[in-house]
Structure 1
């Protein structure tokens, strides 16, 4: 066992945190969290922590926040305001070590050594500690934990413990932490438990098996309660206690379904092959993912590490086998945002999955297809047609953004994002189109994607109202810049809406040509007649965009240019966000921007910025942005990279990387998965200039002078392509699939198996 507890020795693959501080512990637990898209687990210490339960005392700070999650497990807690939230399941990792009747806990005695390592190469959490008790007994422990990427229902925990004293009365308890689980138990057996959510009626079953070897000899446990094991022995100095635990989890969507047999069968299969086989299969699965999604940078060790951290969490967050769930704003690493899904998924995460893991991208988009009824209902409720996706979504596709929250003074604050941040419908449509263009997945386009495009276009055509000036306006919205609410004609929203409608018209033409029967059936299903299509074309022609043709500058929204100018640079040293420092009223009356808005539009639709348009708009809006969102810096990095401003791009990339790697206290609620997706985009879509949506695989690299090479792989229409960018050239190798065209900086060549291409840069 000791061998598998050692981390990867190759530099750059292991993140290390030494020591313990209540101020950073919860952030460490997020940063080093484990996941496989179905299960998530925060990196809380398993041994030496006391129990945790939900407290109503707001002034108490938990020293640790252990949490285990199952994707899609939502229920309505007794909160104000009432919104669905991801339900934590039983914490199956906790171990209690009791020495001569006294429990070993962090707050008592002395921690001589404590270290946690996230081995990203292997996808495992490694811990080691040395604890001297008040009775001067020294205990040493090493641990490995994982959530299997080879079998997403399975978790594994290994721990080795050694004491330095003879004749200590040792009691080791391994249990599933059941207190505080927001579900009612429906089945509790020795090795199996099942719980049901009270509101949604979802059921989770968890099965467990545990063993302990003392100097290689198997010890028999006491079983006083379901899912609890107790071992007792008299210690010998240097004696090695080796503990192993397997867990199997299954979820059912309806209360009448029983997932327990599936969990039990998975546990039986896992125990029969043993933990070594579980670990080996998991490591092999990670090997395969790193082969497809790994990024290698020569010349920048810090960003190399940051991009591996990003890819680690992006890989940990997705599950291509379940198209009924999506990825929340903090994935399965923390409780922030209740596990809700935002536009983050489509705009910040989907490019990664589309490029390196198309099966995961497809599942995430099918979640949006399955939740179309909820989007249609929201549009109807607002008096519009088509599909308006919720700003915050859980499992049903209904809007889950709270209407209001209580402020520090106890007064309600109205939340307008759920009512006005409508650009998400265009964001979903954008992800659909990008995925189909990159993959050539005609089945998805025909059976799901086209309907999303048409229904979101229908929404925008009804939302863009013709007025006396002869133009069509989209009023009362919130753009990505959430510092300014209830604005008219937000450029990002309007241009994306116009693109959405135009794309839907193109999609319908493609259906007519390629699948005429499907086109007719879809038009009949949606009652889409020629008169409505003419209205769509009118909307494309007349929607206000905010572009001044004379200057090439977009106005972020109607009236933005007339707001008071504010020197954002004067506030960069403040610890608090700028809107808190200057107040809500001054923020809304000033040209201060929360996050990339017009800048995000440059990234998504560069064709809307011909000539020097991208440069003009970036230089105008970049100094006005306060980056009050973790989404912002990475998008600025991507655009700066495309403009060749490599120093600016790298500065923003490092800023994004620091959010979770430097243990920002806000990381306690979970890693900012969208920022990590944005970091990948800055490197691959920005610096490498990758475009998967063209008629060929396209690249236009702008390598920073600090970097010697940038190497990565992408999937494009069923082919795997290895790419390496260096100072004088780009090399492309076809790793799998048929020959294809590759375009680099406007030059197109044909790539065939066994014959790499080299492009002079």
Structure 2
């Protein structure tokens, strides 16, 4: 392990799903899991290739109910390649005696390498090395090269390589009893020029997919013509087979270059023909690698976050940035896609889009704002669907779905399976209406970071106002208390979807929802003020909003109800104080890992609804999104008394009652403790950092990485520990690094300043501009304002304020 190289030594079948997910290669348009090219789905392996936005819908009967599921589709396997000694068995890790097995993911270059020695039953030993890439420079291309060296024998090796359309969605065990055959075969063929082609079409969404591949053989690095045998199996597999003469210590290499196109792509005709055209223009492996490496250098130049010489945290941090950029990159901009919670790395959550953009967009907005803008446009294009959902619920405005796919309709399941009990249970997670507040929050924070008033004018304001209209309409007025209530919703904590004494789902006055609603309604007015009178009037008329609506928004934003415990702790929802305390110690002794208490309790005939516990951060999530000043401004607006201990008092209460059943939870807890207890915040950050690489949730990472948690660890480092803010038309920094973090350095974009370099230690912060920029950078360091000349740098000494709990 180095700061740039993730290395696995030896075979470990039990860890193969995890390795395959973490070694996924992608470019923001499509991605391929790091499965061995010779592997097929089953056992410990699961080859999978997924293109952003390629979904398909299938229907099943579950417990007498028709259930529809839209899923990200597993596409034909482009990697498929096997080796065997002529008249002998395959040469692979599972068919011979393997030694010196190494798999390396080079994050800097975006290349996956695999090397091993295999000895067959006759004692013939062969060295095999493979390199693989999914091009970040040419978004339709992928490439694989395989080098074979016979060590102690001579003879023939047969290489079979193809495009395999015999795939289904079977990557998640709990989905396997449901339909998974999403592709309808098209054609499979091998041309006279040796080009291999396979086409298919999704069976309901009718998205066409085309793949084309070509091969060449090199002996000791020189191209060599060899006879090629075409192979076609029905309409789902096409490939070629070549027999290669080998002698000891002579390297024989087979290169495979592949193009993948879909009917969702821009500026193409038929995807099969388009893939063939891309292939004609494509270079061979080394040429593709050079272009690919250059593209990654440019991305790392913008996106790397350097921390002092801690190898493992540095590597994992870069691994998280790497997978973020493989899921959404500049190639995503024209695709009309959102941010899937599990990346393009597996089939968990069926590839759906949740609220993970809340954790991803701050990183993108400060480095690749054009990509962040495209992710927001995914939501804007689905405003009509969100409006229709609101109307169906009897509400105004726009009601965004908790789970979104291709169209923006609600894709949340109606039932979910508890594997511990085998019971199918109602799934009420669609009541997490706060997803709309995340859309509004992301829109406003994007504007603050970029100053993109044109986006706000044409797209952002419409989204923000429609979300505001929905939540203002959702609020009901209680005249006796002169307060508004928001009822029948769920907060981020999915362990509470109802009150135990009530027979209908939903909670009332969830603190997170109500605080963020008040904040959003205030920002809606700020947004209107920015647009100017003419555009303001035009937009209000377009949305059917009048002065009475704005007056109601103002009233609701000042009168929403928050519930409090007697000791001044913000209550997670109304009635929370009536729940029972939970026997944490007893359940830990009995079960060890209690992160999935919902499953444990349901299997006992009990429910998490009855206890003061949380799956993940809920009320305290407010303190991750809003600064202390912003939160206290909301309390002032709502007329609730508070003191400077309101936040730490609430955090302490819920920290002790959270089981971290979500990978996002420790990210949020690290954030909210970053100022008051840096040592514990650092520990939480390290634990969050390990979530995927160590698969701390016991097998979930193999089904797809947790993109929100990955992005959250990076964002926490760049914003929470540095105090980085983009509010108030200035770039703000207020660093208090944990003792264990000596220094950090990163580069960002802020509004008209494309290159701002920031270096922070415990003793000083240094900010440098771009000599090519003429504009002065407005900068605020610990409440002192500066005007930074871009031709120079600013060095500000820092005094360290210590909290007793940090020592």
- TM band (smaller chain): over 0.9
Which residue is equivalent to 2:554?
537
Which residue is equivalent to 2:521?
501
SS state at 1:103 partner = coil
Q: Counterparts of 2:265 and 2:279 in 1: how far apart (Å)?
A: 22
SS state at 1:24 partner = helix
Q: Is the 1:24–1:663 contact (alpha carbons within 8 Å) kept by the matching residues of 2?
A: no
Which residue is equivalent to 2:303?
293
Deviations 1:579-638 (A, max 9, x none): 334447352211111101122101112221462332122112111111010110011111
Which residue is equivalent to 2:178?
none
Q: Counterparts of 1:297 and 1:497 in 2: how far apart (Å)?
A: 36
Q: Is the 1:147–1:156 contact (alpha carbons within 8 Å) kept by the matching residues of 2?
A: yes
Q: Counterparts of 1:455 and 1:296 in 2: how far apart (Å)?
A: 40
SS state at 1:289 partner = helix
| Aligned mate of 1:483, from 495, 498, 507 | 495
Deviations 1:432-476 (A, max 9, x none): 000011001112111100000011111001111112432111111
Q: Is the 2:511–2:570 contact (alpha carbons within 8 Å) kept by the matching residues of 1?
A: yes
Q: Counterparts of 1:567 and 1:687 in 2: how far apart (Å)?
A: 34
Moved more, 704-713 or 732-741: 732-741
Q: Indicate yes or no: 2:422 matched with 1:393.
A: no
- CA 1:307/1:75 → structure 2, altered by over 3 Å: closer, same or farther? same
Q: Is the 2:207–2:264 contact (alpha carbons within 8 Å) kept by the matching residues of 1?
A: yes
Q: Is the 1:72–1:325 contact (alpha carbons within 8 Å) kept by the matching residues of 2?
A: yes
Q: Is the 2:725–2:733 contact (alpha carbons within 8 Å) kept by the matching residues of 1?
A: yes
Which residue is equivalent to 1:634?
667
Which residue is equivalent to 1:95?
81
Q: Counterparts of 1:254 and 1:508 in 2: how far apart (Å)?
A: 36
Report how far residue 547 of structure 1 moved. Answer: 5.0
Q: Is the 2:512–2:622 contact (alpha carbons within 8 Å) kept by the matching residues of 1?
A: yes
Deviations 1:473-513 (A, max 9, x none): 11111101111112111000111112112211221222125
**What TM-score, normalized to structure 2?**
0.87
- CA 1:717/1:264 → structure 2, altered by over 3 Å: closer, same or farther? same
Q: Counterparts of 2:536 and 2:274 in 1: how far apart (Å)?
A: 41
Report how far residue 557 of structure 1 moved. Answer: 0.4
Report how far residue 733 of structure 1 moved. Answer: 0.3
Q: Counterparts of 2:563 and 2:213 in 1: how far apart (Å)?
A: 59
Q: Counterparts of 2:587 and 2:269 in 1: how far apart (Å)?
A: 55
Q: Is the 1:28–1:663 contact (alpha carbons within 8 Å) kept by the matching residues of 2?
A: no
| Aligned mate of 1:14, from 5, 10, 13 | 5
| Aligned mate of 2:34, from 38, 43, 62 | 43
Matches within 5 A, 1:163-312: 163-181=150-168, 182-190=182-190, 191=195, 192-215=197-220, 216-220=222-226, 221-225=228-232, 227-253=238-264, 258-271=270-283, 274-312=284-322
- CA 1:339/1:363 → structure 2, altered by over 3 Å: closer, same or farther? same
Q: Indicate yes or no: 2:703 matched with 1:669.
A: yes
Which residue is equivalent to 1:708?
742
| Aligned mate of 1:564, from 580, 583, 606 | 580
SS state at 2:231 partner = coil
Superposition CA RMSD, Å: 2.1
Report how far residue 372 of structure 1 moved. Answer: 0.9
Q: Counterparts of 1:569 and 1:427 in 2: how far apart (Å)?
A: 35
Q: Counterparts of 1:323 and 1:93 in 2: how far apart (Å)?
A: 24
Q: Counterparts of 1:137 and 1:219 in 2: how far apart (Å)?
A: 26
**What TM-score, normalized to structure 1?**
0.93
Q: Is the 1:90–1:177 contact (alpha carbons within 8 Å) kept by the matching residues of 2?
A: yes
- CA 1:572/1:298 → structure 2, altered by over 3 Å: closer, same or farther? farther
Matches within 5 A, 1:49-60: 49=39, 51-52=40-41
Which residue is equivalent to 1:4?
none
Q: Counterparts of 1:121 and 1:254 in 2: how far apart (Å)?
A: 28
Structure 2 gap ranges (5+): 169-181, 498-505, 633-642, 799-807
Q: Counterparts of 1:568 and 1:746 in 2: how far apart (Å)?
A: 42
| Aligned mate of 1:71, from 48, 52, 55 | 52
Deviations 1:269-311 (A, max 9, x none): 113xx33222111111111111111111115333222211111
| Aligned mate of 2:461, from 450, 462, 471 | 450
Q: Counterparts of 1:21 and 1:543 in 2: how far apart (Å)?
A: 55
Deviations 1:36-86 (A, max 9, x none): 110111000114x3x33xxxxxxxx62101101111110013545321000
Q: Is the 1:323–1:364 contact (alpha carbons within 8 Å) kept by the matching residues of 2?
A: no
Q: Counterparts of 1:157 and 1:136 in 2: how far apart (Å)?
A: 28
- CA 1:741/1:370 → structure 2, altered by over 3 Å: closer, same or farther? same
- CA 1:747/1:572 → structure 2, altered by over 3 Å: closer, same or farther? farther
Which residue is equivalent to 1:324?
336
Q: Counterparts of 1:301 and 1:186 in 2: how far apart (Å)?
A: 48
| Aligned mate of 2:692, from 660, 669, 673 | 660
Q: Counterparts of 1:484 and 1:224 in 2: how far apart (Å)?
A: 56
| Aligned mate of 2:25, from 27, 34, 50 | 34
Which residue is equivalent to 1:3?
none
- CA 1:562/1:407 → structure 2, altered by over 3 Å: closer, same or farther? closer
Q: Is the 2:98–2:118 contact (alpha carbons within 8 Å) kept by the matching residues of 1?
A: yes
| Aligned mate of 1:471, from 454, 463, 483 | 483
Which residue is equivalent to 2:635?
none
Which residue is equivalent to 2:171?
none
Q: Is the 1:568–1:623 contact (alpha carbons within 8 Å) kept by the matching residues of 2?
A: no
Q: Counterparts of 2:269 and 2:298 in 1: how far apart (Å)?
A: 34
Deviations 1:376-411 (A, max 9, x none): 121112111111111000111011111113445665
Report how far residue 369 of structure 1 moved. Answer: 0.4
Which residue is equivalent to 2:636?
none
Q: Is the 1:437–1:693 contact (alpha carbons within 8 Å) kept by the matching residues of 2?
A: yes
- CA 1:570/1:78 → structure 2, altered by over 3 Å: closer, same or farther? same
Which residue is equivalent to 2:658?
625
Which residue is equivalent to 1:604?
625
Which residue is equivalent to 2:99?
112
Matches within 5 A, 1:409-424: 411-418=423-430, 420-424=431-435
Q: How many residues align?
A: 733
SS state at 1:44 partner = coil
Q: Counterparts of 2:684 and 2:796 in 1: how far apart (Å)?
A: 29
| Aligned mate of 1:520, from 520, 537, 547 | 537
Q: Is the 1:568–1:626 contact (alpha carbons within 8 Å) kept by the matching residues of 2?
A: no
Moved more, 299-308 or 666-675: 299-308
Report how far residue 115 of structure 1 moved. Answer: 1.4
